[in-house]
Structure 1
Amino acid sequence: MSAPVNSDVTLLTEHLTYRPAALIDDIVNSINILAFRATEAVEKGLLAADPADIGFRKAPNAPDASEAESEIRDKAQHEIENGVHQLETLLEAKIDKNFDKLELYALRNILSVPPDVRDWVRLSHYEGLNFAPDEDAPDVESIGLQRRKLRETQKLNTLLMTEKSQNEATIASLKALLSISGDKMENGDEGEKPYPAFAFLQDKGELTGDAQRPVTTTTSFTLSQLPALKAILANLQPRLEKLSTPHPAINGEAEKSWRSERVEFVENETRKHLENVRGLELGDMGEIRDGDWQGEGRKIGKQEVEDLEAVVGMVNGKPNGKDTDEQT
């Protein structure tokens, strides 16, 4: 039942340009406004009337007439407000009950389309429209495919833009190597721009490139590169002089850098470990000997010989490694 009702509501909304329930709501709101105005008029009329005219009289044996009259007015006002409130509540209940019936009746019998003609109704703005399904119309799968293609295209565009920026930076750095603009650094003065390393490749001077005389062309090109080569040589000469200066000597020996001292220390400690702990026999250049004679071995000190003699004597039962009787 919900589908036909929704179809009727949609059809009538397109036809009337507003919802059918909105018409009933406007009618109910108008009646409620009129009922509120009626109860307000009743309250104002009763409050303006004399309490005696609407049944509120003072007692005949009241001692003070002014106090009795004030008490009667307060009582009358209270009764009027309470009665008007009850009247307003009763009217609202009756309006809601009866206009709910009106809404149901209107939506079922007036603001509705008969089922036998519902499928045949065509509004004026539907004239000339073709409702046949289009074979080329996009479906969910094709739309999803296009979205995936769009995302991949955006990713590719981002990658290409990144690569473009990297290429532009690389080209700019390469052009800087060939650029001749800027001040040339001469004699190693600080504060001046360095001369580009490959600027001489483009500084051809007055070279015309005559193919008929290659020797003349080559000579002209060589001569045109001499200023650039001189500038590079002037830049390198102070550095070469600085590098060729020996380190100051300490105690008659040249000062060693911390790198060379570190390498020498590591090599000495490694050699000691291999000889003393591993028992390897190493040559002068650190090569491992295989036991055959390949030159003089490690020199043995006098103390080491005496220690070996003492050990041999102790093995033979001699105290302190010596005979008790001296032998000649």
Structure 2
Amino acid sequence: MATSKQQENMLLTEHFTWPPISLIDEIINAVNEVLYSCTDTFEAGLSSADPALLGFPDRAAAENRIPEKDEEGNPVFPEAKLEIEEGILKLETLMENAVDKNFDKLEIYTLRNILCLRRDEDVAEWIRLGHYENLTIPSPDSNITRETLHALRRKLQETQKLHAALLAEKTRNEAQIQRLRALLQPSASLKREARTSTSPTKTSRSNGDAPFAFLTHTPAAQDLGVQALPLPSNGAPKTIDKGTRMPLTTHTTFTTSELPHLRQLLASLKPHLATKALPTRNEGEKEELARERKIYIESQSKRVLERRGINTSDGVDGAVEGQRVRSEEVRGLEGIVQGLSRGKVEEGDDGDAMDTS
């Protein structure tokens, strides 16, 4: 059976999570490290000093001894190194004894008066630590068997393993989120290029660090009404109010919802693609498609003209009258003409005209 002192040490160890004697040992070890560092520095200083300053010539003169000389004619004292080492060893031994004597007193005083329980009362049996709060202690006559204790111990171990696994998974998820955010976070060069670019559709996308930054941070994305994601400088996610959805999220959700209908259309077109002929439409459908196409072209043209400062209150027709044609627009028109020419050539080669209405 453990004695009262051992019970006290176990109680203090459980409370501090470390044995009380380990604190004294750490203090003594730290003092010894400082002691050895001082003696090493002291020895290095004496070894590098001139033996004449340490009194070795006077000792040789008192002993009627002529010291040896080196090649340059300077006196040599080979006994200096040995005496310095012996002196440092004696000094180190003296300091170690002083440290042991004084810190033994510190250890006795600390363990008897600081890291201890009260001596006048037996309080060890009445102390309850914080992690024992609301803990139901079974009665001594309960029928807890060895198998039950083993099962509880195994359950505790598995719970601790699960906790560690969840923490590791949380760390991996946070790292993955940071990597995904880095794909959308534009660099300083891309931001500067987006601000200074005169063409809304020509912006460098060769950004190796953030290859998808062009989705939200280019002038083309701003023209479509897609706002930049709320990415703060520290990479932490910004809080968004409930019910608020980002434009990019809205566009993506809408596109995803339309995918089943697009799949159905594709499945209906596959039989016609084999014969190189699309299903024909009646006159009413053609007129409706032409009207929708015209409305779309007028709305997009109006947006482009208004962005360039042209008044479109009287309509789109004639709004560009008197405006200077820019080089980017000329190159764009040339590309369209070349594309139409290639299309006509390919249509002539096939021999069959395809109805693309």
TM norm structure 1: 0.38
TM-score, reference length from structure 2: 0.35
Max Rg structure? 1
